[in-house]
Each structure stands twice: as C-alpha cells, then as structure tokens.
Structure 1
Amino acid sequence: MTRLVILDPVSGDRLERFAGYLPDGWSLENAASRTPEDQLTALIGTDFAISADVPVTAEMMAVPGLRAIHKWGVGYDNIDCAAARAHGVRVFRTTGSNAISVAETALGLILALNRNLIRGHAAVLEGGWPKSELGTTSMRLSGKTVGIVGLGYVGKALARLLGGFGCEILYTGRTRQDAETEAALAVRFAPLEELLARADVVSLNCALNEDTRAMINARTLALMKRGALLVNVARGGIVVEADLADALTSGHLRGAASDVYMEEPVAPDNPLIGLDTAVNTPHIAAVSADTFEPTVKRMIGNLLALQEGRELPETDVLV
C-alpha cells in the first residue's frame, strides 16, 4: 500500500473528493493539525506528502521512508529543500497551475481598492450610506500606470488581463524578458525604484527569496507615489507589515490589499487588520474550485511517475 498524506488540514468532503483520484493500492490521510507534533506523526510510515501552506522542516524531511513532498501550488519557501537533498527526498510543484486564479484575484483586489467596494459593502451592512465620503477617494483603473513586481506565470497573466484597461504596464524582476515578450504583453522593464515611483498601482507577484525578503519596507514604500495602491498576492515575507500599516495610517498610500502574511493564519494583532484602507483575504488567491481536479491529477501523476521510475516534467521538479 502506498501511503499519501496531506499535511494541511482539510475538510472531510475535500479529502474524500481528493481520494477519488488515487490509483489502486494508494491510501490517503490528513494531518490532525498544523502543530509540529501532529505533522511529524502524520509523516510516520508515509511514502508521499502534499503541502500547501504548512512548513516542511528539516526534521520532517528526516522521517524514515519519506520519498517525496509535493507542493500544492508553486511557491516553495515553506519547504526546506536543502534538507530534502540531504535526506534524498524529492520535491515537486505544480508550476503555473494557479497563475490565472492568482492574477484574477490581483485584478479583483486592485478594482476593489480603487472603487472602495469593500468599504462600501461593510458600511451598508452596518446601516450606513457613505456615497459622498467614498466617492472622494474612488478612482478609475483605466489609463493608470501599473507596476508588476515579478513577471512570471502570474505576472504575465495579470499583464494580459490589464490589456483591456489601457494601462501603462511596468515590470521588474531578476531577469528582463525578451523584446518579443515585452511587445506581446505591452509591458516595459523598469528597475524597482523607478517602478515604485511611477506606478499608481503596484502588484507583488514575485517569489520569496533572499533578494525579495522584506523588499517592501519603510524606505521603498516612501518611494511610492502618494495615493498609490499596493496589492500583495505573492508571499507575506516580501512586505514589512508594520511599515505598510504606517504608510496606510499616514495617508501616504490610499490602500493596500493583502492575501498573504508573515504569519498564517493571520494573527489578531497583525497591524494591517482593522485599517479602513486595508483589504485582507485569507490566502485564497490560488484557490479555485474549477482547478481542483486538474491540479490533483497533476500532483498524483507526478508522484506516480516517481514511483514507477518514469520521467517527470522538468518544470515540476525542484529537488
């Protein structure tokens, strides 16, 4: 029997649905909680494990018999890849699988901030009618300058979505795209500081690594235009949350939307929680009911290929 464990606690219905895609001779279990103790217990006797958000530590990689960790998604900053190499554990991901979902969420958050949709909704629920008040800070997206930090799968998808708004689109990242790609997406490369200074909206779509950790901080936020918006659907560690909260409370930024945080689930004392100009969602940008089946089949296909000694897609292999 091949034993597969999902490390992130999921609902019984979701677990049952997932089990329906397993090959014959495979079993599926779920970690009891996110605590390190329950995570380690879940891995005992496991061949393969899947992680969405929970950290996969060096101690977990050392569990005897563990053959592979599959990331349910793309970002792998929560997986100790060095420890995986040391213990001979393979690490896979579903590159590009959630790009459209994340890009659509980024665009939705941009529009929600720009048009004060969340603040308006909350006010009406409480019996208010702040039409005039919110109208003074509601803005159009059309014709504005949008800066995309990280032009990977998600960044490219967002650029395509923005095409209908007539925006000037700047991008930055580790590498510059070729001229053909820039022309097709109608984007222009700019260094980070120039992008921050010129953009009316900045969308973070980059990976979390040593170059991007705490990249958005008091200094870089001060470079942004007064009244600009910041959207983070990438990773919480890219933004210094206290500095972003200060930029919002001072009025330097008109709004910010965060789907990811330094600590998840988000702590009650997070400085972004409760600010009128902050929209906060529970790391749902990559989650989409209509991508569940193809993503699950892809993960199981990768693990089955490893088990059978077949070649895996190069894009999905990390370790």
Structure 2
Amino acid sequence: MSYKILFIDPLAPSRMESLRALAFEGFTLDTTTGRDEATQLAAVRDADFLISGDLPITRAMLEAGTRLKGVHKWGVGIDNFDLDAARDHGVRVMRTTGSNAIPVAETALALIMATSRGILAGHQGMQRGEWLKGAVGVNCFMLTGKTVGLVGLGAIAKSLARILTGFGCRILYTKPTPIPVEEARALGVEHVDLDTLLRESDIVSLHCALTPQTRGLIATPQLRAMKKTAILINVARGGVVVEADLVAALRDGTIRAAGVDVFETEPTDPANPLLHLPNCVCTPHIGAAAADNFAKTVTRMFTNIACVARGEEVAPLDLVV
C-alpha cells in the first residue's frame, strides 16, 4: 500500500531532492509549493500525512483530510497545530523532540556573542568604510564568568547549558517543575524563580514553549526587572515576548541589547523596529537550520510516520496526540 505525505511549508529545490532521496519505500511525497488556500485543502484531501514547520495545521485542514492518519511537526514547537481538532478527528500529532536542540543552542550562543562582542556593528561600520574600533569596543563585554538565565530547561536549554559551562558561566534556570538535583548538578545549573533569574542574570535566554501561560511572559515589567547591562535572547517563540515593549526597552536603555530569531508574526514586516535598532541582532527563524542535521531529522520524521502507517507505537517523546 502506498501512503502520501504532503509538505505544507515551501521548500527549496535542493531540499526537495534530498527529501525524495530519504523517503521510505511505500511513501510518495508531495512538495508542491505556492498553493492558495482552496488548492491546499484539495491537496490535503488526498494526503495520508502532513508535515509542517512554520505554517499552521488548521481545523479546516484536519476536517478536509478524511484520509489523514497523522501530522508531523518539522521540529518541536506545536503551537501552530490545532491539537483539539486533531483529537476530534483521531489524527496523530508527532514531532522530533530534541532533534534540533544543538543547532538552536548554537544559534543562541551566536546571538549572545554577536550582541556582547559588537560583531554586527563592527561589520556594518567596515562596510561603510568606518573603522569603529573604539566606538564598538567600548560596548563589548566578555561572556566568560557571566550569569546566564535560561527560561525553560528542555533539550535546547540543556544543550546551551553544556556549552556555557566552558565559559565558566553561572547558569540559572526557571521552569515549573525543577529537574532532579543530580541532573542539575551534572549540568551545572541552579533553579530559581523568574523574578530572581531576571534580576541576577547578565544574559536571559528564552527556551520555553509558547502556551497560554507563556504568551507575553516577557513584557515591560520583566524587562525593567533586568539589569540595564543585560541582554535578552529569544530563540523560543516570538509570542513569548511583547515586541512593542522590547522595542521600547532597547530604545530607552532599559536593557543593553537583544538577539531575536523568532517574531510575533512570521515572516516579520521589514518595517519592524527590531530590525532597525543598533542594539538588536535579528535572524529569520534559522535557529534549527543545519544542513548537517537535515538527514537525521528527516529520517526520524519518516520513521515516526511509518510507525503510524503500520499501526505501531511512536516513541513516547515524539507523540503529542
């Protein structure tokens, strides 16, 4: 029996070729891009599985997909999937927990270094023919020995914690349920409440899922609780931060700088003030992107989908619904 997998997100031609090379026997891939909503729903009606990264899996899709057996997140965050609709229609929801942890952790580190070491300002100055050694250098700080606060401690934050130990950082974390003491000791992390983390950290890095409880978690009161010399890093979800409040905090010096990989609306408007502030480094949600991690992640997705197709159990960490 043949099963059809429909990819919802646009894909580069090179990615499409790689996907087809990795596809399991008995599965056909539909990677057509540029469909309007009506055409997309028509394609869903003919699909057994959907894969999406950034674009939503909606109730309308799940109602149209009478053949659907499962939908798979390309990554981890499932805030763009209608989980209630999936339950209503008996559609399995899967993800690749931890598969992108190291690339996202490295992206967080890159944003930390770019904001603390004046990388972007120095580069842009040289492009303009300006040698800003003094002007940029006076605002550069070391990461070594600093206190870093991790909001959330899943696979990504744990990967970042392991990296930061090499810099001799004090690492704080906050999450509703602390991890076991032995694991915390091995990672070199200390559990604190959010207020303490914001107050004591030189760098605050966000790694929590976007939920009703975390939407707008970082707004003006939290930004004002941070050190004026602090840096905010967001590689989680845009909605965790109130963007307008962050813009105001960066403009008036409430905090020193920010590194932002995720936005409230994606793609973000080119006029978004965050893109034009000298103390903010922005990237287009590339945290999970890593060419050398692609095959491993895709193979894991296809394995999960094949399990559902065969009526077998999916790895518990990868099964959401």
Place the TM-score, normalised by the shorter chain, in its bin.
over 0.9
Q: What residue number does 2:11 align with?
A: 10
Given that 1:7 and 1:34 are in contact with CA atoms closer than 8 Å, whether structure 2 keeps it comes out as no
Identify which of 224, 229, 232 aligns with 1:230. 232
Shift of 1:198: 0.7
Q: Deviations over 1:246-302 (max 9, x none)?
A: 000001211101100011111123221111111000111111111111111111111
Aligned residue for 1:193, secondary structure, equals: helix
- For 2:43, the aligned partner's letter is A
Q: Deviations over 1:124-165 (max 9, x none)?
A: 112111111111110001111110000110111111000011
Q: What residue number does 1:104 align with?
A: 106
Please state if 1:190 is matched with 2:192.
Answer: yes
Aligned residue for 1:272, secondary structure, equals: helix
Given that 1:52 and 1:73 are in contact with CA atoms closer than 8 Å, whether structure 2 keeps it comes out as yes
Please state if 1:303 is matched with 2:299.
Answer: no
Given that 1:8 and 1:33 are in contact with CA atoms closer than 8 Å, whether structure 2 keeps it comes out as no
Whole-angstrom distance in 2 between the partners of 1:268 and 1:39: 27
**Which runs of no fewer than 5 residues in structure 2 stay unpaired?**
none
Shift of 1:25: 3.0
Given that 1:31 and 1:42 are in contact with CA atoms closer than 8 Å, whether structure 2 keeps it comes out as no
Shift of 1:36: 3.5
Please state if 1:253 is matched with 2:255.
Answer: yes
Shift of 1:38: 4.6
Structure 1 length-normalised TM: 0.97
Shift of 1:227: 1.5
- For 1:297, the aligned partner's letter is T
Whole-angstrom distance in 2 between the partners of 1:35 and 1:283: 23
Aligned residues: 319
- For 2:25, the aligned partner's letter is D
Q: What residue number does 2:120 align with?
A: 118
Please state if 1:213 is matched with 2:200.
Answer: no
Aligned residue for 1:32, secondary structure, equals: coil
Percent of matched pairs sharing the same residue: 47
Map 1:44-55 → 2, pairs under 5 A: 44-55=45-56
Whole-angstrom distance in 2 between the partners of 1:42 and 1:292: 25
Given that 2:69 and 2:308 are in contact with CA atoms closer than 8 Å, whether structure 1 keeps it comes out as no
Whole-angstrom distance in 2 between the partners of 1:67 and 1:42: 15
Q: Deviations over 1:52-91 (max 9, x none)?
A: 1101111111122121110010010000111000011110
